[in-house]
Amino acid sequence: MALCIPLIFGFPTKIHQDAPEPGRACPHCHNASVVGASSRTWFEFFWIPLIPFPKHRIWKCGICQWEMRMGDGPDPQAPGAFAQQGFGGVRPPPPQGYGH
Ligand SMILES: [Zn+2]
């Protein structure tokens, strides 16, 4: 016995940009185009969104599509911060040696 009805479902992610604010510097393409947004994945069945998954907040670059969940790493800096600190001055310290 064969089931010939295709089950069409998916998990699309819908992204809503937050209130407009000045873009932050993208760590990937270095354009000031990173904005805060809300991302939510839905369980969709036959193109009907049925079950929402918990919403989380992300940073998203409008140019290179880079995105990062807020809290997974340092927040993108406002472009002005780079001018004050200078490029290359914000590297994290190297990890301490693992006991040679
Ligand atoms: Zn970018």
Cα of 10 vs centre of ligand 1, distance in Å, is: 27
pLDDT at position 79, please?
Answer: 80
Give me the pLDDT at residue 95, please.
65
Which one, of 34, 87, 41, 38, lies nearest residue 64 by Cα? 34
pTM summary value: 0.64
Expressed in angstroms and rounded, the spacing between residue 96 Cα and the centre of ligand 1 is 31
Domain-wise residue ranges, the chain: 9-74
Greater model confidence, 44 or 5 = 44
Question: What are the tens digits of pLDDT across the range 53-79?
Answer: 999 999 999 999 999 999 999 999 888
Q: How far apart, in whole angstroms, are the C-alpha atoms of residue 65 and residue 14?
A: 14
What is the pLDDT, as a whole number, of residue 60? 94
Distance 69 CA to ligand 1 centre (A): 14
For residue 45, pLDDT beyond 90:
yes
Residue 36 Cα, ligand 1 centroid: separation in angstroms?
13
